[in-house]
Amino acid sequence: MDTSSDSPVTELTTEECWQLLASHEVGRLATTAGGVLDIFPITYVVDNESLVFRTGPGTKLVELTINENVAFEIDHYDDREGYSVVLHGHAQQLDTMSEVDQAKTLGIPDLFPTERPRVVRINPTHITGRRFRRS
């Protein structure tokens, strides 16, 4: 990919990707289990270069238990530019009371009116991002 200043598409640095992730609170989580791919909107917070979110019992939690490999994505665009950040990693349900208590202090946004007592951390294996200059 051309990363020169005149290119309409530039790759983001890892640091820029984390800054953009920290500036958002809603993204899309992709999971797969049994050959079925699902995408879920989640609210999250960045914590020490990982993502933390809450969830309730159901499909998402079952799929994360079957296959911990996930992808997560945020994006944005306006009249001048757009960007996309994609993170691949391993999802881990936090089980110990100290882990859950610590996660509760992070201020995970609560935008969805559902009970979400479980806490999950995504430990990244790979993160990429691109910025797109609009014509």
How confident is the model over 37-78, as pLDDT tens digits?
999 999 999 999 999 999 988 888 888 888 999 999 999 999
Domains of the chain, residue spans: 9-130
Does domain 9-130 correspond to CATH entry 2.40.30.20? no
Is residue 124 within 8 A of residue 89, CB to CB? The reply is yes
Task: Tell me the whole-structure pTM to 2 decimals.
Answer: 0.88
Mean pLDDT of 125-132: 97
* pLDDT recorded at residue 2: 47
Pick from 72, 65, 88: nearest CA to 29: 72
Element (H, E) at 54: strand 51-55
A 10 A CB-CB count for 6 gives 6
Q: Does the pLDDT at position 19 exceed 90? A: yes
